Amino acid sequence: MSALAKVFWQQRRLLQGSNIESNGRTAELSRLGVPVAVGHAPGHLNDASTVVYSSAIPQDNVEMREARRRGLQIHHRQQALAQLANAQRTLGVAGTHGKTTTAVMVATLLKEAGRDPSYLLGAGCANLRGHAHWGQSGLLVLEVDESDGRFLGLYPELAVVTNIGLDHLNHYRDQKEIFESFKQYVAQSRQAVLCLDDAQCQSLHEAFPRALTYGTSSPADLVAEQVVQEDFKTRFSLRFRGRYLGEVHLPLPGMHNVHNAMAALLAGWHMGLDFETMMPLVARFQLPERRFEVLAKNGIMIVDDYAHLPEQIEVNLRAIRSNWKQGRIIALFQPHRFSRVQYLGERFGPAFAEADLVGVTDIYPAFESPLPGVGPQPIVAAVAMHVPQVRYLPRHEDVSDFLKQVVRPGDFVIGFGAGDLWRCLQRFAAPLPCRLKPAS
């Protein structure tokens, strides 16, 4: 919502907004001159003719009721995005995970190549100076959210699909319905970029054989070979349709980021950039905020990560295990949404297998109400089958006490979750040197 508001402001539209709390995004909009009210009240609509709302806003919200009473135009965020995107040459980056990072990489390539792209992203990035920009090129990089099916209002020039996993079963019936939605999304595009290392994307490629593909082996169009990870950086060789392109240096860890970078390179190639121009630019890639974000590196590492699905957590922990040789891996996890825990709870167990010690908090509800009988206990039990030590840490205070008690030099601490666990990590990281126990 804040990205959309920023772009509207850059287009010189008259706008105002409201949010349930003040935060970094509302502060940024306020600095730009956008009026942002805290809390919701009918009077906030003032002279508005159109209301744009997010999925977090229930239909009985007081501002929504007032908008209907006054007969205002009411659009969901995705409808507003579609109006923007369908009038541009849009690169829509979708997928169960990896879409934010991949969209940031695509925008970075286009920006560094002098194209001045527009972009609306789920998270900011330092070298893009934020998470939204309205450029003059007519190119739009859009992170596409599939969670409620409204992404099918998009008709992009290029549809990038990083992977298709099991998520959002509060909207979709099953994996088949998720797949069919992505299939329709690709059918509505002129061209697609698909990851052939993902089984669901392989099936998608069978339906769209003209799609551009990437992976770690033929028959993908773009193939990564001789992947080497060291000190949380990665290098690999690239071939495009059998032709050797050279070695790429990616300043990020993990095979998942190799996949993200290849998707970005193929998207850039489709938009007219050549690989010789793009490959050196990969060395400038930065992760978006809250994606493997290093909060402290002083004898230990403390990292905050937005990952909240089993596959995301697993690939991050594998990357850490491959690169961290100094000591233990301590993982903290804040489960996200009651509905997700209900259908994925036990799947989190093996995802933490690379960790030495895991702490699990209470569920962060987002905009959901509690579900009867749904709690973090099944996750704790599932993780305990794969990890030597697991702790249940319901509250932020419990997490803080836990970190003070167990962390010692040589440890790698990573917090996973789309909620507010990052607050605990930041508080702990700030005065870190005086809190560490001597190694035993």
Percent of all residues in the chain with a pLDDT value above 70, rounded to a whole number:
98
Distance CA 182, CA 46 (A): 39
Residue 440 confidence (pLDDT) above 80 = no
Q: Report the pLDDT averaged over residues 121-133.
A: 88
Q: Is 277 exposed, middle or buried (0-12, 13-18, 19+ CB in 10 A)?
A: middle
Q: How confident is the model at residue 269 (pLDDT cuts 50, 70, 90)?
A: very high
Residue 340 confidence (pLDDT) above 80 = yes
Q: What local confidence, expressed as pLDDT, does residue 431 receive?
A: 67
Residue 325 confidence (pLDDT) above 80 = yes
Q: How confident is the model at residue 432 (pLDDT cuts 50, 70, 90)?
A: low
Q: What local confidence, expressed as pLDDT, does residue 267 receive?
A: 97
Domains of the chain from N-terminus onward? 2-76 (3.40.50.720), 86-284 (3.40.1190.10), 293-434 (3.90.190.20)
Least confident of 31-40, 45-54, 122-131, 233-242: 122-131
Q: Report the pLDDT averaged over residues 125-150.
A: 90
pTM for this one? 0.87
184-214 pLDDT, tens digit per residue, is 999 999 999 999 999 999 999 999 999 999 9
Residue 439 confidence (pLDDT) above 80 = no
Q: Give the torsion sign (CA, 205, 206, 211, 213).
A: positive
Tokens of 226: 């001789």
Of residues 261, 251, 208, the one with CA closest to residue 98: 261
- What value does the mean pLDDT of the chain take? 91
Q: What local confidence, expressed as pLDDT, does residue 392 receive?
A: 96
Torsion on CA atoms 45, 47, 48, 49, rounded to nearest 10: 140
Of residues 6, 49, 51, 41, the one with CA closest to residue 26: 6
Of residues 425, 163, 422, 92, the one with CA closest to residue 311: 163
Tokens of 343: 């259908």
Q: Report the pLDDT averaged over residues 305-309.
A: 90
Distance CA 131, CA 141 (A): 11
Distance CA 221, CA 214 (A): 6
Distance CA 365, CA 419 (A): 8
57-107 pLDDT, tens digit per residue, is 989 999 999 999 999 999 999 999 999 999 999 999 999 988 999 999 999
Q: Report the pLDDT averaged over residues 4-17.
A: 93
Q: Exposure string (b/e) for 159-180, b if CB count within 10 Å is 16 or more?
A: bbbbbbbbbbbebbeeeeebbe
Residue 8 confidence (pLDDT) above 60 = yes
Q: Residue 380 contacts by C-beta under 8 Å, 6 or more apart in sequence? A: 360, 390, 392
3-state secondary structure 257-307: HHHHHHHHHHHHHHCCCCHHHHHHHHHHCCCCCCCCEEEEECCCEEEEECC
Q: How confident is the model at residue 282 (pLDDT cuts 50, 70, 90)?
A: very high
Residue 257 confidence (pLDDT) above 90 = yes
Query: Which stretches of 282-427 are assigned E, i.e. beta strand?
Result: 293-297, 301-305, 329-333, 357-360, 389-392, 412-416
Alpha helices in 48-114 (DSSP H): 62-70, 77-85, 99-112
Residue 438 confidence (pLDDT) above 50 = no
Helix (H) or strand (E) holding 398: helix 396-406
**Packing angle between helix 77-85 and helix 2-10, nearest 10 degrees?**
40
For residue 299, the one-letter residue type is G
395-428 pLDDT, tens digit per residue, is 999 999 999 999 999 999 999 999 999 999 999 9
For residue 92, the one-letter residue type is G
Q: Report the pLDDT averaged over residues 28-51.
A: 93
Q: Report the pLDDT averaged over residues 115-140.
A: 91
Count CA atoms closer than 13 A to 308's CA, side-chain side.
Answer: 23
138-192 pLDDT, tens digit per residue, is 999 999 988 888 889 999 999 999 999 887 767 888 889 999 999 999 999 999 9
Residue 114: left (phi > 0), alpha (psi -120 to 50), or beta?
A: left
Is the separation of the CB atoms in 437 and 407 below 8 Å? yes
Q: Report the pLDDT averaged over residues 29-42.
A: 93
